[in-house]
Structure 1
Amino acid sequence: MGDRWHVEVDRSVCIGSGMCAGLAPDGFALDSARQSHPRRAETDAAEQILEAAEGCPVEAITITLLGSGEVVFPPEE
C-alpha cells in the first residue's frame, strides 16, 4: 500500500497563479476568488500533486504524510 498525503493550501499566501491547477487538475482547483484549494485534503501520494506544490511560485502548498505528519513538501532547510 502506498503513502497517503494530507494536502493544504495556505490561502493567505496563495496568489491564484493557477500553476497547481494546471499541473494537477485532479488535485487542485481555483475558486471564484481565484484562490486554490485541494480537491481532496487526503489523497494517495501522486507525482502530479508534488509537481504542483513544487511549481507554486509562493510555496502556498504543504504536503504531509497522513498519520505521522512528516513533511513531504516544502523541504525543511
Structure 2
Amino acid sequence: MAEEQWRIEVDRGACVGTGLCVGTAFRHMRLDGGRARPVDEIVRPDQAVTDVAESCPMEAITVRNAATGEVLAPEW
C-alpha cells in the first residue's frame, strides 16, 4: 500500500505575507516575493502542515490528500 501524501496549496492572492506559516512550519513553508510558498508541494503527513493551514490569518493555505483531493485543513 502506498504511503499517504499531502498537497500544500497557497492562494498567493489571499496571502499577506505575515510569515506565521514560516515560523510554524519552517521545514515546509517559505516566503517568496513576500508571499507564502511551500518548500515542496507534496509532503508526507506532518502535524505542522495542518497547524499552519489552521493558523493562517488569511486562510490562504489549504492541505489536501494528494491522492483524493480531500481537504484536510483548514477545517471549514
Same fold (TM over 0.5): yes
C-alpha separation in 2, matches of 1:13 and 1:58: 6
**1:15 equivalent in alignment to 2:7:** no
* Structure 1, 67-76 or 10-19: larger mean CA deviation: 67-76
Q: Does 1:24 align with 2:21?
A: no
Structure 2 portions without partners, runs of 5+: none
Q: Which amino acid aligns with 1:27?
A: H
**Partners of 2:3 and 2:20 in 1: how far apart?**
26
Q: Hey, what's the Cα distance between the residues in 1 that align with 2:27 and 2:3?
A: 18
- The aligned counterpart of 1:46 is 46
Distance (whole Å) between structure 2 residues aligned to residue 55 and residue 46 of structure 1: 15
Measured in 1, the distance between the counterparts of 2:3 and 2:46 equals 10
Secondary structure of the structure 1 residue equivalent to 2:63? strand
Aligned length: 75
Say yes or no: does 1:3 pair with 2:27.
no
Which consecutive unaligned segments of at least 5 residues does structure 1 have?
Answer: none
- Tell me, yes or no, if the aligned pair for 2:65 and 2:71 is still in contact at 8 Å: yes
1:21 aligned partner, one-letter code: V
Following superposition, which runs of at least 4 residues in structure 1 exceed 4 angstroms of deviation? Answer: none
Report the TM-score, using the length of structure 1 for normalisation. Answer: 0.90
**Equivalent-residue separation in structure 2 for 1:55 and 1:74 (angstroms):** 8
Once residues 14 and 2 of structure 1 are traced to their aligned partners in structure 2, the CA distance between those partners, rounded to angstroms, is 30
